[in-house]
Amino acid sequence: MPTSTMPTSTPTATDPHADPARASQLEVAGDLLALLRETDTEPRPDLQLEALTLAVAADLPVLLLGEPGIGKTAALTRLAEALDLPLTTVVASVHEPSDFSGLPIVGDDPAEQGVPMAPPDWAVRLVRAGRGLLFLDELSTAAPAVQAALLRLVLERRIGALRLPPGVRIVAAANPRSSAADGWELSPPLANRFVHLQWTHDHEVVVRGLGGVWPRATLPLLDPERLAESVAFARRAVCGLLTTRPALVHRLPSGETRRGGPWPSPRSWEMALFLTAFATAAGSSREVLSLLVRGAVGDGPGLELLAGLDRMDLPDPEDLLADPASAVLPERGDLRQAVLDGVVEAVRKRPEKARWDAAWALLVRALDTGAPDLVVVPASTLAALRHEDWDVPASIDRLAGAVSLSRRADRAAERAGVATKAGR
């Protein structure tokens, strides 16, 4: 009687138990990957990263806008690790509008209880954790209907029946429409809810990071003693600008592309006010503040606000007239010119011999410590304010030489310009 043989399983190439050597090689590969992923951080000046952390500290939604592959997602991952915040990534373009507005769930008695809107699981996890970093990726590939559903999430922090706790921060990332897969321009309402940061790569940062050391993301150190002062300073700056420039309160851009970027509205001016207060309390540089306010209200209004902040930092003309010998004048030419013009204007409003003499002393100090041409207009105006019974100070001789030289240079430049035009 023939003996039956049971079928035996033949090891396949895909069975890891069949080849111990192959299994060990996968483990070695895992070790190598682990080593490659091990990186360190170092304190390193990084304006983009500092602006991002400042906006996150101010609890304002941030949008990182940059070309694909320059490290937006990696920067958010490092930020979450540095701040010890759980990172929740949601790719907006692969979700339906109901994923952000909530899914309707029919209960036992809809006529009595209504139909509640159930939030997605990631929102529930954020609420349970009480803190976290919500990263809305690929925002520029989200269809208009999805962008509309995101409005309430970004502004009110609500998803369905849930409200995100205060410990959750929102950061989004997007590629320019020209380089996004099936990209869309951001709708004006959604764009106006974000602080827009143009994200670019820094060659040295990339090289250093690929070597294993990336810049360290840290929250700004706010000075507890300057909080009230910072709020007052920010309110004075923003309100002062909008008082003199009421057209800037709300200006919706005409072009579709510009509407998808930062533009001024009462909402975005409030963000600019918050950012100014936080930057002042943290002692941040003017470059960082420039990135932030221009990212909130746009380049033009943002630069006007920055110019107003510069003027607010100028010394009081009355203090300078009281002690011209100890006066410290700004180094920047435009600010120094503004200070000298302010001093002459103060003398014009209250003309007195002592104040007139002090103004001349200040002009001499400006001549000794800066460009001579900056004193030409203030000196000419101040000379016209002289009363007949006022003695001319000896310092005018020095200023007269600078004024005369400047005027001769201006006339020479005019003659050269005329000759150039005639030679054409």
Q: How far is CA 350 from each of CA 22, 25, 353, 355, rounded to the nearest angstrom?
A: 92, 88, 10, 8
Q: What is the mean pLDDT of residues 221-225?
A: 93
Looking at residue 117, its pLDDT comes to 73
Dig out the tokens for 357 from the structure.
């003499």
- Is the CATH code 1.10.1740.10 the one for domain 43-104+115-215? no
Closest CA to 381 of 356, 402, 350, 364: 356
Predicted confidence band at 105 (pLDDT cuts at 50, 70, 90)?
Answer: confident
Between 38 and 107, name the one with better pLDDT.
Answer: 38
Looking at residue 110, its pLDDT comes to 63
Quick check: 412 pLDDT over 50?
Answer: no
Domain residue extents for the chain = 43-104+115-215, 224-312, 317-423
Cα–Cα–Cα angle for 167, 159, 185, nearest 5°? Answer: 100
Q: Is 88 helix (H, G, I), strand (E, B) or coil?
A: strand
Q: How far apart are CA 69 and CA 175, in angstroms?
A: 10
Looking at residue 408, its pLDDT comes to 47
Looking at residue 372, its pLDDT comes to 78
In the 8-state DSSP scheme, what is residue 294? H
Predicted confidence band at 406 (pLDDT cuts at 50, 70, 90)?
Answer: very low
- Give the chain's largest Cα–Cα span: 144
Dig out the tokens for 227 from the structure.
């909080």
pLDDT in tens, 42-82: 888 889 999 999 999 999 999 999 888 888 888 888 889 88
Which residues make beta-bridge pairs with 174? 65
Q: Is 103 helix (H, G, I), strand (E, B) or coil?
A: strand
pTM of the model: 0.74
Q: Provide DSSP, 315-361.
A: PPHHHHHH-GGG----SSHHHHHHHHHHHHHHHHHS--HHHHHHHHH
Looking at residue 19, its pLDDT comes to 67
Predicted confidence band at 232 (pLDDT cuts at 50, 70, 90)?
Answer: very high
Dig out the tokens for 151 from the structure.
């409005």
Residue 174: what are its φ and ψ, rounded to 5°?
Answer: -155, 150
Percent of residues, the chain, with pLDDT higher than 90: 39
Quick check: 15 pLDDT over 90?
Answer: no
Which residues make beta-bridge pairs with 163? 158
From 238-252, 281-295, 334-348, 407-421, the region with the lowest mean pLDDT: 407-421
Q: How far apart are CA 348 and CA 378, in angstroms?
A: 11
Between 104 and 406, name the one with better pLDDT.
Answer: 104
Looking at residue 207, its pLDDT comes to 92
Average pLDDT of the chain to the nearest whole number: 84
- At a CB cut-off of 8 Å and minimum separation 6, what does 345 contact? 317
